[in-house]
Structure 1
């Protein structure tokens, strides 16, 4: 007699790893013994420190929240949804659970009996390696660790000292300090005796300045200051600070950015907290030529476009290395985006040298779109703009012509390096995108107060901007004007939200991928338009709704939204995770196919990859539903 319930369970399990690695009869044997749990929201499957169960679990429907409680504060580790496994601890060790597992919504959970599953996993090397790696890496969505191999290779990756790029920078703990009133002579003697190259000037155990060997040479040995001078007379202040978690690339970039050779390590990363140590340039190991700091030095020394193009190719190799090493994805975004910024800035500097005269007035260059959000990993289309200071009307034409000519040079220069021209001509070489501050303000007032399809699209692009070069105050003045106009016309945000709701869905009614049906890209899936943009657009609108300035990165926006709306924290965290998964997937596809990665041939994907994508789509519908309620869009649908 057929067991229809067991058949349904087997049909479900066979779609998800590691069950898809089992034979049909093995899967059937497990399915006949599965424990089916129907749980309301807020029910615990297990708690921290409880004894291990005789099952591990997989979510059939709903979601399960994994969390820790520290000092009565709940820290959510992850949210498991359809097809995610959790509670593997009894399979690996008989120690008590380390996390709480609580249903985040009404859920159906399958308990997989260890008594039957464990012998099967022991005899199946792929299943065993998969489960051990998943357990060791402490990752909720086990599909993302597919391909890491066995646990020994995973541990080797995590502990390999050659992984310069993900190591925290080693710093000197218990640094030698002095007071502001200490004399230069006393400082020099102490530095000589202690064999150190810098002395931190501290007050109440907090760093207020720093004196280096270079300061003694340039300020004292030259006779500018006497050896009886006090520390406060020659110290560099304020100091550059960071937390203990600063990585080697981040430290290199910070030193280059602030033209310093030392960083003070403090308890909370600011000068207002206790000094924990000091990090010097000497402490940082100089790595291979594709090290971020070395690349930035090369960029700043580059004289020709071919040099920058070569460096840009090195950045692409660096990105591939980072992905292969499975660095934390936000870390990859930060490093690659910072390098892109320096490349663009250097290009502007070199083009300015080719102009016959200096700029007639102050100006600022902005990157827009993905680079403006610091999310451009693969070289893609240029989106940029130029703002110049207001001038009398009689001077406007010649001033604009100067900056258009400069922009033409820069845009062409960037194209030579590898940044494609924008097909829609949203570049500073276009007079519409090269204008005075007052004209930009007026343009945005028109877009916001009289929203139409083109206006909302163009303005939303401009809300994602990054200052690159020039007078930053011009950018800030425009930003203040934008927020003032938006606050006076809330309907504009509703119009933006309506556009997000109208975005095409990534999957159809039967959870099949929706592919393109027109044009030259028929039968391919557009991950950018159908999956990434709804998450990007929603984060932008909600951050504008809260009137938060200077928050242009999608991950940072969702992090800030989770702080501002704790009642929606789980949703915003889910959106951030989905965005990371989708952008990483797009980047990997772009590297494989040597393109932008936005158009994906579904036939080239494995079943696991397709399932991974579909899981990441879930928050899209949820964030769209929030927008419908927040902006009262039902009447507009």
Structure 2
């Protein structure tokens, strides 16, 4: 019986690459397994962090936007329309989606099962090459000059050009592969692989590759009893081994592994089995080559078992930040990436602690505050946090709090070892003051809001910059609800925050010269954190709270949101956002150069242009401080 629907789908697919390279019989085979999805406008197909689907997608009618969402701002990366493919990540990477796909209008989508398509894919090198290059170079059609550089896959989230360079540069390989002859005994080969912690041995004859034995072969052929442990490896090796030349690119390596369904490639002098062995490429090498891919890095963090593992991941983030700055990637995009990675590190540190201690006695929430809470931590600065657990009966309170204090100490110790030093002010979840029940925390925020400055100091302001990191989101939402209810019309509270914002040490002296440190180890250096960044951070916090705007913590995005909510001052707020990015870039570059937190910068190392840019930010700071002074009826000496 004819399948009319399948024929219609096949007729549609054959008009677009890569399907136009397939036979009609193959198209019908695919089309008979296709699911038809109908998405209403703004309906999400998949979003950042979702596990990869078992399908990839072709748009029949309508349009789908691929975007990044961070705090209050959604950045549209690309718009896919009729005939475009998306959702290719499951073909080429074993991690979650890195972009959100959302219908821009009513849309009909064909969902094509990957398992069905893979069978056909491996028989059609042209189609495989098309999809691989689409994924690697982020193009809707890699052979179409008009669309070159347009993002098609949710491959990376910040740099088309950088990704393309990455995928087509030569891949590093191991130059010391394990070698053996065909008459070697399987038991000895297994011991050799175990001793060297390597999953493969190339079988050679006169240094020419004739086969390969992998840990998979030992599992499927020896462990199952098909062959004895004393068998010669020539009888269990895979032959011929797939050989490649030395200058192989990452994209080509992926192509070979997919085409031949192997996890290892043997590198030879001329790329054939008739020339000497030079090394080996493993699937792990491909993962390492993509280590600056956000999804790969976060997956690595989730697999970490110790502070040593997490520290290694944090070092990779530092490398990613440095390379991104060198490639002129916009700082807000770098900050988004760093914020997600930092949160993943916190989450994993908590996971590890819970695995060691056992399940928590009640629900709780771990909240990051300060620069982590604002997702502004590019460098290895302090860790600030607090912990909230749900209310319990009085007779259980002490034991429950004791558990969470012990948990917090484990977590903060792990993060210390990763490189995040504890807050010098003691604003950390392992502090007995900052590990409490929900009711205690609600009472504490009430005191800060209703009697600001009493029995507290200015440090309390940082507790209004928090980001949910782990646990039960409902607990964080309960605190947020109470805060935004209590702060309405609280002139005294806003006056306190406003005065605090105006009291920061001035950046310029009487004669418009930079105010630098006069003594100590930072003598003659400029404190960019306290004299320039802090006034903007404080101003953004005060203004966003006074507007009763929830869920926007990052200083840059706070000013961007304020520009929307107060069009009258939009120009000033946007200038503040730009100034914050400029100052953050100065601090980050200084921190990377000097291997520190970047708080103090050497003005002598700045060009005349950079000094002018720096001074311009002070003008913007003065203008927003004047706005605060007038709006909240303050003086600089209040």
TM-score bracket for this pair, using the shorter chain length: 0.5 to 0.7
Q: Mark the CA change 1:251 to 1:438 in structure 2 (over 3 Å): closer, same or farther.
A: farther
Aligned positions of 1:19-38 closer than 5 A: none
Instruction: Tell me, in whole angstroms, the C-alpha distance in 1 between the residues paired with 2:515 and 2:636.
Output: 27
Q: CA deviation at 1:344?
A: 1.1
Instruction: Tell me, in whole angstroms, the C-alpha distance in 2 between the residues paired with 1:538 and 1:284.
Output: 43
Whether 1:202 and 2:38 are equivalent positions in the alignment is yes
Instruction: Give the corresponding residue for 2:475.
Output: 474
Aligned positions of 1:181-260 closer than 5 A: 193-194=29-30, 199-202=35-38, 242=67, 245=77
Instruction: Tell me, in whole angstroms, the C-alpha distance in 1 between the residues paired with 2:380 and 2:98.
Output: 31
SS at match of 1:379: coil
Q: Mark the CA change 1:561 to 1:337 in structure 2 (over 3 Å): closer, same or farther.
A: same
Instruction: Give the corresponding residue for 1:442.
Output: 443
**Bigger CA drift: 610-619 or 586-595?**
610-619
Q: CA deviation at 1:595?
A: 0.4
Instruction: Tell me, in whole angstroms, the C-alpha distance in 1 between the residues paired with 2:361 and 2:551.
Output: 28
Aligned residue-pair number? 424
Instruction: Tell me, in whole angstroms, the C-alpha distance in 2 between the residues paired with 1:580 and 1:312.
Output: 22
Instruction: Give the corresponding residue for 1:386.
Output: 387
Q: Mark the CA change 1:278 to 1:623 in structure 2 (over 3 Å): closer, same or farther.
A: farther
Q: CA deviation at 1:329?
A: 1.4
Instruction: Tell me, in whole angstroms, the C-alpha distance in 1 between the residues paired with 2:65 and 2:312.
Output: 32
- Of 323, 333, 342, 2:325 maps to 323
Provide, for residues 374-405 of structure 1, a one-character-per-residue CA deviation record: whole Å limited to 9, x for no partner.
Answer: 11001111101111000111111111000000
**Bigger CA drift: 516-525 or 626-635?**
516-525
Q: Mark the CA change 1:465 to 1:204 in structure 2 (over 3 Å): closer, same or farther.
A: closer
Provide, for residues 499-527 of structure 1, a one-character-per-residue CA deviation record: whole Å limited to 9, x for no partner.
Answer: 11121211122210011235443322100
- Of 259, 266, 286, 2:103 maps to 266
Q: Mark the CA change 1:196 to 1:404 in structure 2 (over 3 Å): closer, same or farther.
A: farther
Question: Does the 8 A contact of 2:52 with 2:89 survive in 1?
Answer: no
Q: Mark the CA change 1:200 to 1:504 in structure 2 (over 3 Å): closer, same or farther.
A: farther
Aligned positions of 1:498-509 closer than 5 A: 498-509=499-510
Instruction: Tell me, in whole angstroms, the C-alpha distance in 2 between the residues paired with 1:483 and 1:531.
Output: 28
Instruction: Give the corresponding residue for 2:281.
Output: none
Q: What runs of 5+ residues in structure 1 fail to find an aligned partner?
A: 1-173, 177-188, 217-238
Question: Does the 8 A contact of 1:266 with 1:277 survive in 2?
Answer: no
Question: Does the 8 A contact of 1:364 with 1:474 survive in 2?
Answer: yes
SS at match of 1:487: coil
Aligned positions of 1:162-173 closer than 5 A: none
Instruction: Tell me, in whole angstroms, the C-alpha distance in 1 between the residues paired with 2:93 and 2:435.
Output: 30
Whether 1:530 and 2:518 are equivalent positions in the alignment is no
Question: Does the 8 A contact of 1:513 with 1:525 survive in 2?
Answer: yes
Provide, for residues 193-250 of structure 1, a one-character-per-residue CA deviation record: whole Å limited to 9, x for no partner.
Answer: 457997451156886879x99769xxxxxxxxxxxxxxxxxxxxxx996475169xx9
Instruction: Give the corresponding residue for 1:304.
Output: 306
Q: Mark the CA change 1:244 to 1:617 in structure 2 (over 3 Å): closer, same or farther.
A: closer
SS at match of 1:426: coil
TM-score, normalised relative to structure 1: 0.60
Instruction: Give the corresponding residue for 1:233.
Output: none
**Bigger CA drift: 371-380 or 199-208?**
199-208
Q: CA deviation at 1:452?
A: 1.1
Instruction: Tell me, in whole angstroms, the C-alpha distance in 2 between the residues paired with 1:561 and 1:598.
Output: 27
Q: Mark the CA change 1:532 to 1:454 in structure 2 (over 3 Å): closer, same or farther.
A: farther
Instruction: Tell me, in whole angstroms, the C-alpha distance in 2 between the residues paired with 1:565 and 1:331.
Output: 25
Instruction: Give the corresponding residue for 2:344.
Output: 342
Instruction: Give the corresponding residue for 1:165.
Output: none
Aligned positions of 1:98-109 closer than 5 A: none
Instruction: Tell me, in whole angstroms, the C-alpha distance in 2 between the residues paired with 1:605 and 1:262.
Output: 37
SS at match of 1:367: strand
Whether 1:582 and 2:583 are equivalent positions in the alignment is yes
Q: CA deviation at 1:617?
A: 1.5
Q: CA deviation at 1:284?
A: 3.6
Provide, for residues 326-358 of structure 1, a one-character-per-residue CA deviation record: whole Å limited to 9, x for no partner.
Answer: 011111111111111111111110111010x31
SS at match of 1:406: helix
Q: Mark the CA change 1:452 to 1:204 in structure 2 (over 3 Å): closer, same or farther.
A: closer
Aligned positions of 1:61-76 closer than 5 A: none
Aligned positions of 1:349-498 closer than 5 A: 349-355=351-357, 357-452=358-453, 455=456, 457-487=458-488, 489-498=490-499
Instruction: Tell me, in whole angstroms, the C-alpha distance in 1 between the residues paired with 2:94 and 2:297.
Output: 13
RMSD across aligned positions (CA): 3.8
Instruction: Give the corresponding residue for 2:622.
Output: 621
Q: Mark the CA change 1:199 to 1:404 in structure 2 (over 3 Å): closer, same or farther.
A: same
Question: Does the 8 A contact of 1:191 with 1:197 survive in 2?
Answer: no
